[in-house]
Amino acid sequence: MLNVMTPEERELLTHSIKLAEENNKLLRSMRRSARVSSFLRILYWIIILGSAFGVYYYTQPYIEAIIKSYNGMQENIENIKGITNKLPSLPSWLGGN
């Protein structure tokens, strides 16, 4: 026994098929957008972190030179303080205590 569709049933079936195909296209588009978004987010963080490490790599010699210079100035100040402590105190008639 064959089951024959009525015209209304055929119309509903074709309409359902069209909706399913449209939903499939939308879902594929959403999945593609999510993948592209994930890729761009990863690329964004790679660029941010890479540039931070690059800046550190290229500025490290300058920072080390500044730190060495600062430490050298501190040593010179300590040497000057040590020398002034070793000098005899000035006589009172020259303004010393």
Domain boundaries along the sequence of the chain: 53-83
Q: For residues 92 and 59, what is the distance between their CA atoms, to the nearest angstrom?
A: 53
**Residue 4, pLDDT score:** 83
Q: Tens-digit pLDDT profile for the chain (97 aa)?
A: 567 889 899 999 999 999 999 999 999 999 999 999 999 999 999 999 999 999 999 999 999 999 999 999 999 888 888 777 776 666 666 655 5
Q: For residues 96 and 64, what is the distance between their CA atoms, to the nearest angstrom?
A: 42
Identity of the amino acid at 9? E
Residue 90, SS3 per DSSP? coil
Q: What's the pTM value of the predicted model, to 2 decimals?
A: 0.54
Contact 90, 96 (CB under 8 A): yes
User: Which residues are CB-neighbours of 13 under 8 A, at least 6 positions away?
Assistant: 5
